Structure 1
Amino acid sequence: MMIKLSLLFIIAIIFNVGSAVYFELNGGQTKCFIEENPKDTTVLGKYILEDITPQQGGYGNQLSLTVKVTDPEKREVLSKTMPSNGRFAFSTQVGGEHKICFSTNTSKWFGPSVKTRLHLEIEGGAGANDYEEIAKVEHLTGIEISLRRLNDRVNQIRKEQSYQKGREIVFRNTSESTNARVMWWSIIQLVVLVLTGVWQMKHLKSFFKAKKLV
């Protein structure tokens, strides 16, 4: 039993979804990322927006970040303007690629735009849960919260597998449809070539007879 739990724990760690990046985000710019997640998955983003133009003098306290999230069906999931340090979260209603876009309020009418650096960490599934807070609210022991974390990650793995299976079915159907179209197109081309050859032979035969060459 302990061996099985250990294996499940290792698999859950391998499949844990999370990524951390940082990049420059200048005034007037919008940068987007694609997060692919299955249905009913919580996605949590933690960020710090840093002013990297110290000559602006005190502007960093006024920085704000606008986050917009759209789902694979182009519906807006989240649109929010937040301070320079915080977090955002959303739940996926459909599985697929979710577009997460970031922009700042640092554009200016005159002079150069304020340059900022966005430190971003995105976690999905079990990684988005605050287990310390859950343990406090539900009065769970260390072992109980570890089992909760393991169970959540295993459930997330199942969602991922189900999502990938659905994508595989769509891909297979698309491949079969494409192969069928290619086959019929080849058959049509062959039929056209045969009919063209027959017509040319008849035309040449009529031409030779008209010229009394045969």
Structure 2
Amino acid sequence: MASGRVLGFVFAVFMLNLCCSSVTSLYFHLAEGEQKCFMEEIPCGTVVKGDYWTQLYDDEEDEFLAATEDLSVYVAVRAPKDELVLSQQNGSKGQFSFTSSGSGEHWICLQPNSSERPLSAGRMLAVHLNIRVGERTNNYTEINIQNRLTELQLRVRQLSEQVQQIQSELNYDKIRKEHFSTVSHNTNMWIFWWPVVRSIYVVLFIMCLTGSW
């Protein structure tokens, strides 16, 4: 009975960590010409959606202003091998979406576009950004309307997609552990053999100097 409670608690904590890691809310400032990037570790075949809205921040007056209509933001996403996955330009409020073709670190970068109207001196762009990963990208209200599901059917579908997301995360975690194990093994081998190689080099160097070669 106690072990069942422990397993239930562990599963609940795991689900909580998964949900927390699947949604990222950020707030930051961008100056004219500045680019800021954020890294997300994403399993292969995972859908990522982001939405943002901006304000103008006047540093001298210490106040927020509404973003002008001609202000735009450039969004770029790069895969682990520096492959450009997404490149688009939106207005002061926008959305973006992509599906990862491989597992690993994906970089999401935002930059104010200065080609139309540069930011005035003393002003910065205040950005509110939300990033949703995997199952969290689903809008179950729309799914329910489109498919006319009962409450039980909708819940079963949601749980099924959460399980798939967990399995994807576990598979990716296994890949990361295998990679870490390989790197750790190679490092340990280098630590082990380096003194031997250095000793041989010193002996050969001394033999060359003394003419004992």
Q: Normalization by structure 1: what TM-score?
A: 0.79
Structure-2 change in CA distance of 1:29 and 1:191 (3 Å): closer
Q: Does 1:15 align with 2:18?
A: yes
Q: Post-superposition shift, 1:181?
A: 2.2
Distance 2:14 2:119 in 1: 54
3-state secondary structure, aligned to 1:36: strand
Q: Name the residue aligned to 1:176.
A: 185
Q: What is the CA deviation profile of residues 95-147 of structure 1, one whole-angstrom value per residue up to 9, with x for unaligned ones?
A: 11101110112575695164221101111010111111111111112222222
Amino acid at match of 2:52: Y
Distance 1:6 1:191 in 2: 56
Amino acid at match of 1:146: R
Amino acid at match of 2:88: K
Is the Cα contact below 8 Å between 2:55 and 2:66 reproduced in 1?
A: no
Q: Does 1:51 align with 2:51?
A: no
Q: Name the residue aligned to 1:66.
A: 74
Structure-2 change in CA distance of 1:130 and 1:201 (3 Å): same
Q: Which is worse superposed, 48-57 or 71-80?
A: 48-57
Q: Name the residue aligned to 1:147.
A: 156
Q: Structure 2: which 5+ residue stretches go unaligned? A: none
Aligned-pair identity (%): 30
3-state secondary structure, aligned to 2:69: helix
Amino acid at match of 1:14: N
Q: Structure 1: which 5+ residue stretches go unaligned? A: 204-214
Task: Find 1:35's aligned residue among 40, 51, 69.
Answer: 40
Distance 1:40 1:110 in 2: 38
Amino acid at match of 1:173: T
Q: Which is worse superposed, 98-107 or 82-91?
A: 98-107
Q: Normalization by structure 2: what TM-score?
A: 0.80
Q: Name the residue aligned to 2:92.
A: 84
Is the Cα contact below 8 Å between 2:56 and 2:66 reproduced in 1?
A: no
Is the Cα contact below 8 Å between 2:55 and 2:64 reproduced in 1?
A: no
Q: Identify, as 1 or 2, the structure richer in helix.
A: 1
Is the Cα contact below 8 Å between 1:21 and 1:119 reproduced in 2?
A: yes
Is the Cα contact below 8 Å between 1:49 and 1:65 reproduced in 2?
A: no
Q: Post-superposition shift, 1:11?
A: 3.9
Q: Which is worse superposed, 182-191 or 151-160?
A: 182-191
Q: Which is worse superposed, 144-153 or 106-115?
A: 106-115
Is the Cα contact below 8 Å between 1:41 and 1:91 reproduced in 2?
A: yes
Q: Does 1:24 align with 2:29?
A: yes
When the two structures are aligned, how many residues end up with a matched partner? 201
Structure-2 change in CA distance of 1:192 and 1:103 (3 Å): closer
| TM-align CA RMSD | 3.2
Q: Does 1:99 align with 2:104?
A: no
Q: Post-superposition shift, 1:12?
A: 3.0
Q: Does 1:75 align with 2:83?
A: yes
Instruction: Indicate the structure (1 or 2) with the bigger Cα radius of gyration.
Output: 1
Structure-2 change in CA distance of 1:109 and 1:159 (3 Å): closer
3-state secondary structure, aligned to 1:60: coil
